[in-house]
Amino acid sequence: MGLLQLTQIQHRVEATTFPLVDMTDKASHRPDDVRINQLSRALAAFALAKRGGFSWEEATASLTDGDGDNGIDAVAVTSDGRRLLIVQSKWAQDGRGSLALDDMIKFREGISDLVQLRWHRFNDKIATRKQELEGALLNPLIRIEVIVAHTGTSACSPDVRLRMDEFITETLNDNSAEDVGSFHYLGQAELHQLLLDDHQKPRIDLSVDLADWGQFQGEPSAYYGQVSASQIADWHEHHGTNLFGKNVRVVLHDSEVNESLVTTLKSEPEAFWYYNNGITILCQGIAKSPAYGVDRRVGSFSFSGVDIVNGAQTVGAISRAARQGIDVSRARVTVRFISLEGSGDDFAYEVTRKTNTQNRITGRDFLALDSHQARLKDEFLLEGLTYVYKRGESDPEASVGCSVTEATVALACASKDVNLSTQSKREISRLWYAGERGAYAKLFNPQVTYLRIWRSVGVLRRVEEFLAQEQTKLDGRPRGIAIHSNRLLLHLAFCQLPTNKIDDPRFDWDTATADLDSLIASTLTTLIDQAEAHYPGYPASLFKNASKCASLGNEVLSTTG
């Protein structure tokens, strides 16, 4: 099937990106060579469009292939600014082979230079886009997808994949728990799959025993009831992520919510129904079996063409608990099955959108139940200041108060535990988790006063103001280090301040922090020097790695001390 699939890929590429490719830089080359090179560039644009949701024109405009491309054939930022796609492509006219080791090494070096903002190593096609690409690389939320598109039938060789995976881990992910980078190899089979623009996931039909079931008397038809968590675990075991075809997201692995769900399944399975919001499923058809008759205590149903549109995290957590050997059979979940028969064209979209956006509960919402937050609000109020901790309240002006978000970051970075400051960089909501492994009680407890928060927030703001000015004076990787190191820099500033007296209202804190700007400046200079000398790779990943932040922080303090 190699040549047949290659021909189909070629026809699709020639009909989409090929005519848009600029080949003026190859005008003096042999026509046959130019055509192969144009196909290779068009393939890079095609892969970029399909993986990133770009138009053919946008993808083609993102091509960088040419002299001095440093191994990168295309690079683009998605419209939401959350993903950076880096592509290398190879058009194998005979449909054979896979990515060569030499090409992979060159590609690796180019990616390393890109994430370290070494613009002088690239041609004008990349260098002229410095502002756009630097903005993405300096975004702490960015995810980097490294893509190789090759029309050969062979799989990516184990040696090439191992070396690329090691590079991704060390340079982009920096061996941290959070994956910033990922590697995707699109061989001929994967490219052929991309030809199916409207590719549909396999249809899923479910036979379900629904306890305490009921029927919604309206149009479209809908049934609801309780389903054993063990049934739900079986769904995920057999169908995986195909269950979530219309969901706005699939399972968020290791999220705060999932951890809480798994804990409940393990320790309080009978209470799971009370604590969980349930699952909403759209289906093409619903049929009730005659089994059990009209008994509402249990009913046997067949649901065809199902899509879980809300509750993916519930399904994922149940599946994860079952894989860990936890007995989930005693837990029950409320499930709604909504038929699309006779529904309007927009009905499925509206159900999916609104079940995923209305009344969303976040970690911050639970702070509203904590007595310490209410106490702190009163303490601020007595000083004529405002402290906001409930979601939906407007943050006060900086001169007259602060929010719990600012307070959390400031307290985490003021802690002696560098892990807390690193967590405030990675995912602040984890600091609001009050479980056994949660950090919340370390930050907010009876010993924490409004004065500690207000003074800590003041230091936070001074650091951020300094960085905002300093970043405009820096360029390349030092600028990236300055931006991404903001929480570690704040932590190191606190380490050099008399924080043991921060709660004492008689202590002259203003005098103690009078030289804070010069302290921040010298610390940042040392931090950049140490990071440049000993910590290569992508700065965004470095400053989300707690162990490396601890080592780097110790080196900075020993040098400045």
Task: Compute how many other C-beta atoms are within 10 angstroms of the C-beta atom of residue 208.
Answer: 22
Determine if the peptide bond prior to 220 is cis (ω within 30°). yes
- Give the tokens for residue 403: 């929010």
- Give the tokens for residue 268: 């309080």
Q: Is 520 helix (H, G, I), strand (E, B) or coil?
A: helix
Rg of the Cα atoms in the chain: 28
pLDDT tens for the chain, 561 residues long, are: 568 788 889 999 999 999 999 999 988 889 999 999 999 999 999 999 998 889 999 999 999 999 889 999 999 999 888 899 999 999 999 888 899 999 999 999 999 999 999 999 999 999 899 999 999 999 988 889 999 999 999 999 999 999 999 999 888 887 555 678 889 999 998 898 887 654 456 678 899 999 999 988 778 889 999 999 999 999 988 888 778 765 544 554 545 556 788 889 999 999 999 989 899 999 988 888 777 766 788 988 989 889 888 888 899 889 989 989 999 999 999 999 999 887 776 787 778 777 765 555 556 666 777 888 989 998 999 899 999 988 767 889 999 999 999 999 999 999 999 999 999 998 888 898 776 667 888 999 999 999 999 999 999 999 999 999 998 899 889 999 999 999 999 999 999 999 999 999 999 999 999 999 999 999 999 999 999 999 988 899 999 999 999 999 999 999 876
- Spacing of C-alpha 156 from chain mean position: 26
In 3D space, the residue among 527, 535, 534 whose CA is nearest the CA of residue 553 turns out to be: 527
Q: List Cβ neighbours of 339 (8 Å cut-off, separation of 6 or more).
A: 220, 221, 222, 283, 284, 285, 286
Q: Is 535 helix (H, G, I), strand (E, B) or coil?
A: coil
Q: List Cβ neighbours of 173 (8 Å cut-off, separation of 6 or more).
A: 179, 180, 181, 541
DSSP state of 208: E
Provide the residue count of the chain.
561
CA-to-CA distance for 484 and 421, rounded, in angstroms? 13
pLDDT, position 173: 83
In 3D space, the residue among 248, 215, 451 whose CA is nearest the CA of residue 338 turns out to be: 215
In 3D space, the residue among 72, 70, 98 whose CA is nearest the CA of residue 85 turns out to be: 72
Q: To 5 degrees, how large is the angle CA 84–CA 86–CA 92?
A: 150
- If you write DSSP's letter for every residue of 240-260 in order, what string do you get? GGGGGTT-S----TT-HHHHH
pLDDT, position 185: 94
SS3 content of the chain, % helix, strand, coil (to 5): 55, 15, 35
CB of 237 within 8 A of CB of 319? yes
pLDDT, position 225: 94
128, exposed or middle or buried, with CB in 10 Å at 0-12, 13-18, 19+? exposed
pLDDT, position 198: 41
CA-to-CA distance for 75 and 129, rounded, in angstroms? 10
CA-to-CA distance for 509 and 494, rounded, in angstroms? 13
Distances (CA, A) of 354 to 244, 305, 309, 398: 16, 21, 10, 34
CA-to-CA distance for 75 and 123, rounded, in angstroms? 13
- If you write DSSP's letter for every residue of 337-406 in order, what string do you get? EEE-TT--TTHHHHHHHHHTTTT---GGGGGGG-HHHHHHHHHHHHTT-EEE-STTSPPPPGGGEEEHHH
CATH class of 2-194: alpha beta
Encode 317-338 in three state secondary structure: HHHHHHHCCCCCCCCEEEEEEE
For the chain, which residues make up each domain, given as ranges? 2-194, 206-360, 364-560
pLDDT, position 246: 58
Kind of pairing, strands 279-283 and 222-228? Answer: unpaired
E strands in 91-155: 143-150
537: alpha, beta or left, given left = phi > 0 and alpha = psi -120 to 50? left
- Give the tokens for residue 363: 């970690």
CA-to-CA distance for 335 and 286, rounded, in angstroms? 14
- If you write DSSP's letter for every residue of 34-95 in order, what string do you get? HHHHHHHHHHHHHHHHHHHT--HHHHHHTB--STT-TT--EEEE-TTS-EEEEEEEE--TTS
